[in-house]
Amino acid sequence: MAKDFVTRKENYSEWYNELVVRAGLAENSAVRGCMVIKPYGYAIWEKIQRALDDMFKETGHQNAYFPLFIPKSYFEKEAEHVEGFAKECAIVTHHRLKPKSDGSIGLEPDPEAKLEEELIVRPTSETIIWDTYRGWIQSYRDLPILCNQWANVVRWEMRTRMFLRTAEFLWQEGHTAHATKEEAIEETAKMLNVYAFFAENFMAMPVLKGTKSPNERFAGALDTYCIEAMMQDGKALQAGTSHFLGQNFAKAFDVKFLSKENKLEYVWATSWGVSTRLMGALIMCHSDDNGLVLPPKLAPTQVVIIPIYKTQEQKEKVNQEAQIIMQELKQSGISVQYDAREEYKPGWKFNEYEFKGVPVRVTIGARDLEQGVVEIARRDNLTKETLPIEGISQKIVKLLDDIQDNLFTKALSFREMGTRKVDTWEEFLVEIEKGGFLLCHWDGTPETEEKIKELSKATIRCIPLDALEEEGRCIFSGKPSAKRVVFARAY
RNA sequence: CGGGGUGUAGCGUAGUCCGGUUAUCGCGCCAGUUUUGGGAACUGGAGGUCGCAGGUUCGAAUCCUGCCACCCCGACCA
């Protein structure tokens, strides 16, 4: 175990906080609720961005950028949307500071510079985007519009945790406009699938695809689709959402188009997003009591090479061999780092890279070279083996794939073990304490979900898209239900 | 916004009840020597408005008053 590092079992949330800081991912900033994402953490985010952005382009989307500030009046136009976000908005009221009027040291807003209309720092961009789209759309020929933006947003949260919930966070938000309801729904589903594919194939994190219950739906959406993952403490984490917005925003912002039949109709909308919260998901899905564990596809450094030598002559030989292996790996598209620093001992480096979650470590020692071998250690299961240098780069390429697969398999079996059917309320109250996902019948009413939340702190994470039709009775009310939904405590 | 807690070096802390030399210890940092196959050892060194502002006192990290910040627990949430 890493030195002075709390275990998951001892205190899961402390383990998480410590890990984020000690692995160099992020730290708290001077501003309450806001974090500094450090270079190592940001490098992971950049890999996430790159992979997703490629997929967005692949599915026909283009990036654009909309303003950080939203006029308050825009915000007021969609009733449910206001209702959902008003409580957590940062507001800009002035555009100038002046020395304090009482003569004391410091600055205060200049009353002369009060804004005519106050500006909201975007908590999400639907309103300004739909106000803009109105000008872009006249006929069906202007549709669909498939835009995405990478941006920061602000939601003034009461309680924050690094990556999982911060007052400011980074994300992407896709906003699309369509001529028909069917096409918009298809887009919503398509992007949900992109998210699910990314989560499973890049993050090695299995996710459930489903829709949200009315209580958990995005403010202003007709339907919210989501991917839900299970963390190692058994809690659920919403990792991405895709919303079918119907014509709500088109109506609020008067966005109409002339159809082929020459009829004026409201445009159909979707929006979808994932945020730096994915970083939290990634951390909590795979990491262990020795620190971070990263899937090879998102690790900034996939392979680290550590030299061991005593004499100057040995050092040169080891360096030489390391350069060759490094070149081979680079040619195979592997990101590799050679840590030849002399101020740290090899043992220290082993622990350091282990804590940072580097998937594969190659140790090249003077003794190894005499036998033409190197030591390969994998982070996911902490095993080591000694392999011939001959053909080592191909072996490592293969090993990285194995690690990626193993992480997914491990996470999947963890989730499966933590998922069970529950049919009575008594059993529910006992089982929910143990964590994990509970598959239960629900009568479909917000009142029942609300009551269950109040009594157990569990919510409906999603109504799985692939839920089987099955006659049953609601776990709480006993009323008839046609399928099981997923209950869990959530982040 | 309620309830609880904490502010002493980059980090973690002792000292605070009961005021009194130069504010303790560990990690980290700097220099040097020996080391290097799982977090090296020794020697020397640098680093402090004791959260802020007042007050009591010959004397305040310590006592009093006010303020500020942060953390934890609840209500809200991607």
- pLDDT tens per residue across span A331-342: 999 999 999 999
* Count of other CB atoms within 10 angstroms of residue A42: 18
Q: A286, A311, A327: which is the final residue of a domain?
A: A286
Is the pLDDT at A35 greater than 90? The verdict is: no
Specify if A395 maps to a domain.
yes
Could you check: is the Cβ of residue A276 within 7 Å of any atom of nucleic acid strand B?
Answer: yes
Residues A359 and A249 in one domain: no
Q: Give the domain range for residue A101.
A: 12-286
ipTM of the complex: 0.88
Instruction: Answer whether any strand B atom is within 7 A of the Cβ of A187.
Output: no
A426 within domain boundaries: yes
The predicted pLDDT at position A1 comes to 63
Is residue A207 domain-shared with residue A71, that is, in the same domain? Answer: yes
* Residue A453 CB lies within 7 Å of the nucleic strand B: no
Confirm whether any atom of chain B, the nucleic acid strand, is less than 7 Å from CB of A377: yes
Q: Are residues A269 and A312 in the same domain?
A: no
* pLDDT tens track for A208-256: 999 999 989 999 999 999 999 999 999 999 999 999 999 999 999 999 9
In this structure, what DSSP letter does residue A287 have? -
pLDDT tier for residue A290 given thresholds of 50, 70 and 90: very high
In a domain, A294, yes or no: no
Spatial distance from the CA of A455 to the C1' of B50 (Å) = 47
- List of A residues 27-86 with CB within 7 A of strand B: 28, 32
How far: A344 CA to B42 C1' (Å)?
17
CA A174 vs CA A65, A133, A263, A277, A311: distances in Å: 11, 13, 27, 17, 58
pLDDT at A151 over 80: yes
**Residue labelled with tokens 């059993």:** A427
Cα separation values, A209 from A49, A184, A212, A461, Å: 21, 18, 10, 10
d(CA A157, CA A386): 50
Q: What are phi and psi of A318, to 5 degrees?
A: -65, -45
Q: From the Cβ of A220, is strand B under 7 Å away? A: no
Which positions of chain B lie under 7 Å from any protein Cβ? 1, 35-40, 69-78
Which residues contact residue A455 at a Cβ distance below 8 angstroms, ignoring those fewer than 6 apart?
A429
- Give per-residue pLDDT as tens, A271-282: 999 999 999 999
Backbone torsions φ then ψ of A363, nearest 5 degrees: -105, 125
Q: Which nucleotide is nearest to A346 (CA to C1')?
A: B36
pLDDT for position A33: 83
Shared-domain flag, residues A234 and A325: no
Residue A105 predicted with pLDDT over 70: no
User: Tokens 């309680």, residue?
Assistant: A159
A321, A242: one domain: no
Q: Which of residues 199-218 of A touch strand B (CB under 7 A)?
A: 216, 218
pLDDT given for residue A250 in this prediction: 97
Structure-block tokens of residue A45? 């985010």
More confident residue, A43 or A82: A43
At A440 the pLDDT is 96
Whole-number distance in Å between A347 CA and B65 C1':
55
What is the C-alpha separation between A261 and A78, in angstroms, rounded? 29
- Using pLDDT thresholds of 50, 70 and 90, give the confidence band for residue A466: very high
Distance (Å) of CA A78 to CA A34, A75, A94, A170: 28, 7, 25, 24
Same domain, residue pair A101 and A232: yes
User: What is the per-residue pLDDT across A40-57, written as a single tens digit (0 to 9) for each?
Assistant: 999 999 999 999 999 999
**H/E segment holding residue A82:** helix A79-85
Task: Give the CATH number for residue A386.
Answer: 3.40.50.800
| CATH number assigned to the domain comprising residue A198 | 3.30.930.10
What is the arithmetic mean of pLDDT over A83-94?
Answer: 88
Q: Report CA dihedral (A326, A331, A334, A335) to the nearest 10 degrees.
A: 60
In this structure, the answer to whether residues A451 and A346 fall within a common structural domain is no
Determine whether the distance from the CB of A268 to the nearest atom of strand B is below 7 Å: no
CA distance A200 to A411: 10
Over chain A, what is the mean pLDDT? 94
Beta strands (DSSP E) in A354-423 are: 360-365, 373-378, 384-388, 419-421
Mean pLDDT along residues A100-105 = 71
Same structural domain for residues A306 and A280? no
Q: Is residue A347's beta carbon less than 7 angstroms from any atom in nucleic acid strand B? A: yes
What does the buried/exposed string (b/e) look like for A264-292 if buried means 16 or more CB atoms within 10 Å of the residue's CB? eebbbbbbbbbbbbbbbbbbbbbbbebbb
Same domain for A138 and A195: yes
Q: How many domains does chain A have?
A: 3
* Residues A306, A278 share a domain: no
